[in-house]
Amino acid sequence: MSAFDEIYTPTEDHQALREAVRELCEAKIAPHAAEADELGEFPKASFEALRAADFHAPHVPEPYGGAGGDALAVAIVIEEIARVCASSALIPAVNKLASVPWLLAGSEELKSRYFPGMATGEAMASYCLSEPEAGSDAASMKTRAVRDGDDWVLNGTKRWITNAGVSEVYTVFAVTDPDKRSRGISAFVVEKSDQGVSFGAPEKKLGIKGSPTREVYLDHVRIPGDRLIGAEGTGFGTAMKTLDHTRVTIAAQAIGIAQGALDYALGYVKQRQQFGKAIAEFQGLQFMLADMGMKLEAARQLTYVAAAKSERGDADLTYFGAAAKCFASDVAMEITTDAVQLLGGYGYTKDYPVERMMRDAKITQIYEGTNQVQRIVMARQLLAGLPQV
């Protein structure tokens, strides 16, 4: 077996992990999913269940008290949580998103300061890149960080920040040299308790309602110089490298949502009777189910390949991360829509979970780079000469 196969193919440990996460999710996460969606509140009980089982941030390296899960293990955890509750899946996903910059560029002192709290669940983290006028064009951000002696003073607004207000730590990208555009952006760690940090009202969203999304306001926030992540001016590069890795987690979330919808639809069509027999016996619906299963498995395999490339840091990760996120999220939107169709009028009601899954699936086509942006990323990689298999 090649080294690639050893990393790409789920091992017995990965399978045991999947079984453990699924058992936990069925017992302690699924019962809260509809309520979190209905109330639009962070699922505290689900978080505590994940925290107790060490699934809230499985990527944290062992030297800092974490489980040290590889990229495929993290993808499996997120996939299984998303199968029952997409909002709860954002707990491990966003913890990873916010802290990959620490792994890529942070000092040992910074990692030793912030990873232990994440490992215990005492301090979740959020990623602050987007702004009101800087979404897909992140290099146009306006948030400023100005050096003042040994400190930095930050001013600006960050928008669409997942788990803002719940997280204790924020990885913030800000302009330190406005004349250099993307090369004048740096990355910092900001703490919720820092004076001048505040939050907007929760956004009223279509889906993932159990995961709060707020603006983060930075009003003359003074932080010590040792909270700079990497060298000054390297923040944008760190942000883009981070997304190469974490788009895999969004792909995993998407396939989890899709799997949950397919599972429910399969059970339904076997039980639902029309014209004197189960609707599962109608060929037209069997074709729908076949396409759903086929596309889901294709998305899963592409996601696992991307996870393996993330673990190794392969040169073509940018392409595969974008491809996995784009394909899996498009498939999730299609499968959840078809699941609603298979349930007919019942699928359109909140009495059944597939309408929530359909709403939740939509965001996976938008955040961490819209799927239009993913296609631009892939095309550029191909035109630049992607390494051949």
Structure tokens at 277: 């027999």
Q: Is 311 known to be catalytic?
A: no
Any residues with CB less than 8 A from the CB of 179 and at least 6 apart, and which? none
The β-bridge relationship of strands 213-224 and 151-162 is antiparallel
Which residue in the list 79, 215, 355, 368 is annotated as catalytic?
Answer: 368
Q: Which residues pair with 223 in a beta bridge?
A: 152
Q: Which residues are the active-site residues? A: 368
